Amino acid sequence: MFSEQLISSFGLKKTPFYYYDTGLLHKTLFAIKEVAVLFNYNIHYAVKANANERILQIISSYGLGADCVSGNEIDQVIKNGFNPKQIVFAGVGKTDEEITFAINSNIACFNCESIQELEVINDIAGSLSRKVNVALRINPNLDANTHHNITTGLNTNKFGIPYNDFLLIIEDFKKYENLNIEGLHFHIGSQITDYRVFNKLCKRVNEFNNFLLGKSVNIRHINLGGGLGIDYDEPENQIPDFQAYFEIFNKNLEVRTGQVIHFEPGRSIVGQSGILVTKVLYVKNNGDKKTIILDAGLTELLRPALYQSNHKIVNLTSSKELDVYDIAGPICETTDYFGRSVQLPETSRGDLLAIYSTGAYGEVMALHYNMRPPAEKYYSEELIL
Ligand code: LLP
């Protein structure tokens, strides 16, 4: 990924910055589209993973839809080439203004997360003399075997409609006269690497789909959410195995004639295409521990501090003997570390480090804590001549 030419152009830039390998993004999009077309699956890119305009423009050029969780995301994707008719809108706390904006933007569907929200959407749609499409986001109470802070499909999580409320909605679905209840939506968590979880999800979806068959609710859309993990330990595995992932659903989902299947991948599309480039400010030495202090911190990449997540780190400018370091940011927080006891070539002030796999939930989760300015971003086509 890093030619000498690229590293020397990195050296001319103010650090830290996000670097996007747009060639890899194109390859990843090509790969997911190729397989999705085979299975006739609809892909809505989960914008929360990365809402950078240039990235969105590339993604929209592949004809993907968008999964949004705020009015601003809807606005941003429409401005960057996505078709409103391919936008779905999820989120547990949609405001009245966002609901109104989404209806007026003619999006495809609301992924509705509570019985209370259903009533509000119904009222707002009525006041606009509109009928809107809704998918019920079911909380399937299924453990995704991922980090507990990014699990969403358990009864203890705030997401989705609890089973009892789901039954109430179905019993009386005709009362929502301004809604077409036409879809089921599931999302059980993120960074899922244990594929058996998706088998279980299929089983649960089949149960709901069968149950509704006898209830005259016409479910035309089934949305399986996102969640496919990427390889943070070995980011050289750049493109996730979309074929294997979709095959699980193709094999295990009981799809009825006329039903359309949707997915909302975020991380698996953009994750490996981004890296964070940062400079070494100091190497502290307190007895047997050496600590590298970088000019990037949790303000540019929150994931390690928030989920104890691992991102591969390399020194781009040293090839000396290996040594062992803790790697920290400059922020006044005890959790501002990117790694502990990491092996790196002997590292000194001024070295450039690359932190891998920051394309998803990197730039988009940046903070300005400690009055940090936003980091710059560069794209491979600008830096590789
Ligand atoms: N659909 C829904 C309804 C979601 O809530 C999410 C992610 C996705 C799709 C996309 O999931 P993905 O394919 O990216 O796994 N900030 C955390 C991840 C939070 C994910 C929240 N929901 C992280 O950095 O790991």
pLDDT digits (tens, 9 = 90+) for 246-257: 999 999 999 999
For residue 47, the model assigns a pLDDT of: 98
Question: Using 50, 70 and 90 to split pLDDT, how confident is the model at 385?
Answer: low
Q: How far apart are CA 36 and CA 28, in angstroms?
A: 12
The percentage of residues in the chain with a pLDDT greater than 90, rounded to a whole number, is 89
> In whole angstroms, what is the distance from residue 283 CA to residue 186 CA?
46
Helix or strand (DSSP H, E) at 291: strand 289-294
pLDDT tens digits along 27-78: 999 999 999 999 999 999 999 999 999 999 999 999 999 999 999 999 999 9
Please, which pLDDT band fits residue 225 given cuts at 50, 70 and 90? very high
The CB of 50 under 6 Å from ligand 1? The reply is: no
- pLDDT band at 91; cut points 50, 70, 90: very high
For ligand 1, whether the C-beta of 331 sits within 6 Å is no
Confidence of residue 145 (pLDDT cuts 50, 70, 90): confident
Q: What CATH number does the domain located at 23-269 have?
A: 3.20.20.10
Any idea how long the chain is? 385
Candidate from 145, 158, 190, 268 with most ligand 1 atoms within 8 A of CB, to mutate: 190
- pTM for the model stands at 0.97
Query: Among 264, 309, 358, which is best to mutate for testing ligand 1, by the most ligand atoms less than 8 A from CB?
Result: 264
Mean of pLDDT over the chain: 95
* Selection from 233, 198, 199 nearest residue 311 by Cα: 233
Q: What is the pLDDT of residue 159?
A: 82
| 44 pocket-lining for ligand 1 (C-beta < 6 Å) | no
Residue 231 has pLDDT above 80, yes or no: yes
Centroid of ligand 1 to alpha carbon of 361 (angstroms) = 9
% the chain with pLDDT above 70? 98
**Do β-strands 17-20 and 376-379 pair in parallel, antiparallel, or remain unpaired?**
parallel
Residue 261 pLDDT: 98
- Relative to beta strand 322-328, strand 260-263 is unpaired
Residue 149 has pLDDT above 80, yes or no: no
Q: Which amino acid does the sequence have at 340?
A: R
CA 227 / ligand 1 centre spacing (Å): 6
| CB of 240 sitting under 6 A from ligand 1 | no
What is the pLDDT confidence band of residue 150, given thresholds at 50, 70 and 90? low
Q: What is the pLDDT of residue 61?
A: 98
- Residue 214: pLDDT band by 50, 70, 90 thresholds? confident
Q: Higher-confidence residue: 286 or 135? A: 135
pLDDT at 153 over 70: no
Which fold does the domain 4-18+272-382 belong to in CATH? Lyase, Ornithine Decarboxylase; Chain A, domain 1 (2.40.37)
pLDDT at residue number 373: 97
Average pLDDT, stretch 7-32?
97
**157, pLDDT greater than 90:** no
**CA of residue 348 to ligand 1 center, whole Å:** 36
Rounded mean pLDDT of 2-28? 96
Whether 266 lines ligand 1, by a CB cut-off of 6 Å, is yes
- The mean pLDDT of 342-352, rounded to a whole number, is 98
Q: 297 C-alpha vs ligand 1 centroid, how far in Å?
A: 22
Q: 65-68 and 352-355: which strand pairing?
A: unpaired
Distance from residue 228's CA to the centre of ligand 1 (Å): 9
Residues sharing a CB contact under 8 Å with residue 14, sequence separation 6 or more, in sequence order: 376
Q: Per residue in 305-342, pLDDT tens?
A: 999 999 999 999 999 999 999 999 999 999 999 999 99
Q: Show the tokens assigned to 96.
A: 């009245």
Q: Which residues contact 24 (CB under 8 A, 6 or more apart)?
A: 238, 239, 272, 273, 380
Classify residue 94 as left (phi > 0), alpha (psi -120 to 50) or beta.
Answer: beta
Q: Is 49 in the pocket of ligand 1 (CB under 6 A)?
A: yes
Domain-wise residue ranges, the chain = 4-18+272-382, 23-269
Judge whether residue 148 has pLDDT over 60: yes
Cα 313 to ligand 1 centroid, rounded to whole Å? 23
| Mutational test site, ligand 1, from 267, 270, 300, max ligand atoms within 8 Å of CB | 267
Whether the per-residue pLDDT at 90 is higher than 60: the answer is yes
Between the CA of 384 and the centroid of ligand 1 the distance, in Å, is 31
